Chain A
Amino acid sequence: MSSKKKTILKVIILGDSGVGKTSLMHRYVNDKYSQQYKATIGADFLTKEINVDGDRTATMQVWDTAGQERFQSLGVAFYRGADCCVLVYDVTNTKSFENIKSWRDEFLVHANVSSPESFPFVILGNKIDIEETKKVISVKSAQDLAKSLGNIPLFLTSAKSSINVDPAFEEIARSALQQNQNDADAFEEDFNDAINIQLDGEADSCAC
């Protein structure tokens, strides 16, 4: 029955203020870029229909969050039920890179995911269109970080020049779908377990 129901994949984009979360989302969903986005307050939301397994489609709900620390207390309302979390930093901003880990931890604390170790994250290093001299985060250090956080997939992107955005979101969709199915399976398992326990109980009583 659950397979007939349309799959909804919930994706959360986190990262410091101004790293390009909104731009990435709009580039992926609408294939557009604008200089005129206002700072996100709370969270913004866009959806995109995607193909999975050839003929099946799923809806990806992308939640673009506010980057300022003050808004983090909001997390719970938006993180819940996420299937994948995207961590974004700005390749020209050291601080935003250093904060990637704390964004991940922040998410795990608030999202209340079933198995934190296996929850899918994807890291995006954005703004690679900017001239080399202004880049402060080397590819190497980014790869090291991704590795240290549990082999998280890493993409270097540019929402402005549309570099690597689609491949990144394809990976995000894949991870989210995987997670979504894992959760569904886990639910099914739980359901079976519940029945088993009851049977066990009856068996016990018989043994007495």
Chain B
Amino acid sequence: MGVRSGSTQMAERSSSEVGLVSSLMKSWRIASSSVPTSSSSSSPSAVKNHSRSPSKKNSNSATNNNSSKSFIDDGNFCAMSKQKNSTTTRKSSSSYSPLRYVSPTLSSIDSPKSSFFRNQYSKHHNQSYYQHGNNHSTSTLEKSNTDSIKHDKYFQDLDEDWSAVIDDYNMPIPTLTNGGNASPIPQSNTSRSRPNLTRSSTSSSIATNAGLAMTPSLQYPKLPSLSRTESPEVKSQAELENEREAQELTAIMQRIDKFDCILQSKHIINQQELKEISWNGVPKPNRPKVWKILIGYLPLNIKRQDSYLKRKRQEYVNGLNHISSNNHSKDTAAWHQIEIDIPRTNPHISLYQFKSVQNSLQKVLYLWAIRHPASGYVQGINDLVTPFFEVFLTEYLSQSQIDDVENIDPQTYLTEEQWSNLEADTFWCLTKLLEQITDNYIHGQPGILEQVKNLSQLVKRIDSDLYDHFQKEHVEFIQFSFRWMNCLLMREFQMGTVIRMWDTYLAETSTETTNSIPYTSSNEISLPKTPIQRNASTFSTPVETTSPSSYGRSAPVTTSNTTSVNSDDSTRLRQSSLNEFHVFVCAAFLIKWSEQLLDMDFQGIITFLQNPPTKDWTETDIEMLLSEAYIWQSLYKDATSHWL
């Protein structure tokens, strides 16, 4: 842990945004509960906020950090719940708008006007607006109105940049001084950008937008009116959409470039940087390679990558040869279990129905099982292997076919050698992942029991109403969350969203397991900055006896033959990061349904949680969830060790 300083930025900001945290929570709930059909459409831009902010660097972070700490030190959870309560009343209003959290002045304005403000705000985010003059007619407003509704009913004003929101807080309301008409903006202003923000390339275009959003609001009252006359009516909705798509495409291309840039370093890949940027999602073309690096399979040292891959792939082949030789006495129980589970793995995706794929996965899982006798094959591991398999498969597809990976039989395009390499990579990455969560699958599954307990403790503190309701209805956390832990929530989401989630999860995995890299190079990069941070990020488990000071010590360098469960301290510590973050994700996931759950009895709750309505979830929904989890973690991680 402690490797997530990019995301840490976000937490550091959270001090000034504690209100946002709760409003974020509540507003999400509104999106998902009172407007169930639009839940997926109303969240995306809010998500963008969160998911992007971790990659920002804020020069004020130190100050923010202090205040953030003092908030936690106060232990003022009551204050938070009060805040939550206060939002509850607002929430019942149908004209609810998060604008109220942005500007107290706005909140007093009745809804038609505030919707007008939303239009204004949304316009400022649209670059084309400045290029085409500012003579607003009603029709443009309508256009942009539909445009913004399509985007996001609630969060348009928050779009793109958190700090913009904060700064907006005390800003004069343009309309009040301007009779409700937008004023033109001198061209010079548009080129201004905010000096205190440096951004990754992905958000650079957004940064400009945010800068634009800031500037006109500041300048509004002083501007002369109607100095430019080009009519925006000329611009059709389609054109606007095209431009937006073009912008999005550019953003994606820039993001891919950024990844390429990191991956094509001359000597050693900057793992820290890669983790930070990956936390917010990895573009499809980069994903196979990035995942292999994040999980600690592919060496960071570019020069060693090819030879290392060759060796590991050969080792896998040797392993297979061994199990098919006479020297190996087959573990029939494991083989049988895997055999009956393979056809039941992702039965709704055609890829996993192809005999070729099933054979492949059977081999990978069986080899893993016999090499890890302390754990052996446990149901659910068959789920965990599939994201690796599917993502690595895209390496062998052309760009245009990547989206079809779930429909094409790999047998039609893979050579025998490629099959073997694919299996080997999948095998080693599965091994790396399971190394981090070994305790989840050994006898008694202590890792999972621990996580379930932590989840309940966390919910008790974050959402005591829900916790009490569960108590009253005799709902036990293990009854619904065991599977969440055992399958890393994979059963709760569609594969596409799971893969996006894994971008973040793999960025969360500890780097101590990084193999065969000259230890110093990888470790220097990844070691947490301060001892305090290390301590804070350690999620205590009952078995954990190591003091924080030993955290930084070298973990045993894992060699190719990871034969059995490591039970030494460093293994446990290594396990903590992914499992810890996962508990926060589970908490965010559960609390998301809090409103509905509070109205249900035991049967309703269990039935609902067994089959949560996540079918239509998009990547942005997942990003929202991950961001919430991140916020909870930043608020509560110091406290978790005291609960046990």
Contacts from A to B (Cβ < 8 Å): 17-18, 35-47, 59, 61, 66, 68, 70-71, 73-74, 77-78
Contacts and interface: CB of A to CB of B under 8 A. Distances in A.
B444 interface: yes
A77 B481 CA distance: 12
A30 to B, nearest CB: 13
Contact of B444 (A37, A38, A47, A73): A73
Contacts of B346: 38
Contacts of B337: 17, 68
Contacts of B487: 41
30 contacts: A17-B340, A17-B341, A17-B379, A35-B347, A37-B347, A38-B344, A38-B347, A38-B383, A39-B340, A39-B344, A39-B379, A39-B382, A40-B379, A41-B379, A41-B483, A42-B478, A43-B482, A44-B610, A45-B603, A45-B610, A66-B379, A70-B441, A70-B443, A71-B379, A73-B443, A73-B445, A74-B482, A77-B478, A77-B479, A77-B482
A47 B603 contact: yes
A35 B293 CA distance: 37
A191 B524 CA distance: 69
B532 to A, nearest CB: 37
B262 interface: no
B21 interface: no
Contact of A41 (B347, B376, B482, B603): B482
A59 B602 CA distance: 12
Contact of B345 (A38, A45, A71, A78): A38
Interface in B319-364: 337, 340-341, 344-348
B84 interface: no
A38 B342 CA distance: 9
B347 A78 contact: no
Q: Most B CB atoms within 10 A — which of A41, A42, A47?
A: A42
Nearest to A40: B379
B466 to A, nearest CB: 19
A197 B482 CA distance: 44
A68 B345 contact: no
Contacts of B376: 70
B340 A18 contact: yes
Given A39-B382, A61-B603, A77-B478, 7 more contacts: A38-B344, A39-B380, A40-B379, A41-B487, A42-B486, A59-B603, A73-B444
Nearest to B609: A45
Nearest to A69: B333
B478 A74 contact: yes
A-B CB proximity, top 8 nearest: A42-B482, A36-B347, A18-B340, A41-B483, A77-B478, A42-B483, A39-B379, A73-B444
A59 B445 CA distance: 32
B606 interface: yes
B603 to A, nearest CB: 5
Contacts of A17: 337, 340-341, 379
Contacts of B341: 17, 39
B607 interface: yes
B315 interface: no
A18 B347 CA distance: 15
B106 interface: no
Contacts of A36: 344, 347-348
B607 A47 contact: yes
B603 A70 contact: no
Contacts of B340: 17-18, 39
Contacts of B344: 36-39
B469 interface: no
Nearest to A46: B607
Given A17-B337, A70-B441, A70-B445, A41 B476 contact: no
A74 B347 CA distance: 26
Contacts of A42: 478-479, 482-483, 486
A46 B585 CA distance: 26
A62 to B, nearest CB: 11
A46 B608 CA distance: 11
B450 to A, nearest CB: 13
A35 B345 CA distance: 11
A40 B382 CA distance: 12
A197 to B, nearest CB: 30
Contacts of B603: 45, 47, 59, 61
A114 B348 CA distance: 43
Nearest to B478: A77
B173 interface: no
B453 interface: no
Contact of A43 (B345, B379, B479): B479
Nearest to A59: B603
Q: Most B CB atoms within 10 A — which of A35, A43, A70?
A: A70
Contacts of A71: 379, 445
B491 interface: yes
A39 B486 CA distance: 12
A55 B320 CA distance: 63
B486 A41 contact: yes
A112 to B, nearest CB: 15
Interface in B464-518: 476, 478-479, 482-483, 486-487, 491
B378 interface: yes
A61 B340 CA distance: 27
Interface in B435-459: 441, 443-445
Contacts of A45: 479, 603, 606-607, 610
B323 to A, nearest CB: 21
A168 to B, nearest CB: 22
A41 B478 CA distance: 11
A109 B482 CA distance: 21
A47 B604 CA distance: 10
B277 to A, nearest CB: 33
Contacts of B380: 39, 41
Nearest to B442: A70
A35 B337 CA distance: 17
Contacts of B479: 42-43, 45, 77-78
B567 to A, nearest CB: 17
A85 B441 CA distance: 26
A68 B378 CA distance: 8
B617 to A, nearest CB: 18
Given A42-B486, A47-B603, A70 B378 contact: yes
A138 B115 CA distance: 74
Contacts of A35: 347
A111 B62 CA distance: 54
Given A41-B487, A41-B491, A44-B610, A68 B379 contact: yes
B346 to A, nearest CB: 8
B491 A38 contact: yes
A109 B150 CA distance: 57
Nearest to A61: B603
B344 to A, nearest CB: 5
Nearest to B474: A81
A78 B444 CA distance: 15
A61 B317 CA distance: 48
Q: Most A CB atoms within 10 A — which of B380, B443, B491, B607?
A: B380
Nearest to A37: B344
A61 to B, nearest CB: 7
A70 B376 CA distance: 9
A180 B523 CA distance: 61
A177 to B, nearest CB: 18
Contacts of A59: 603
Q: Most A CB atoms within 10 A — which of B337, B346, B445, B476?
A: B337
Nearest to B346: A38
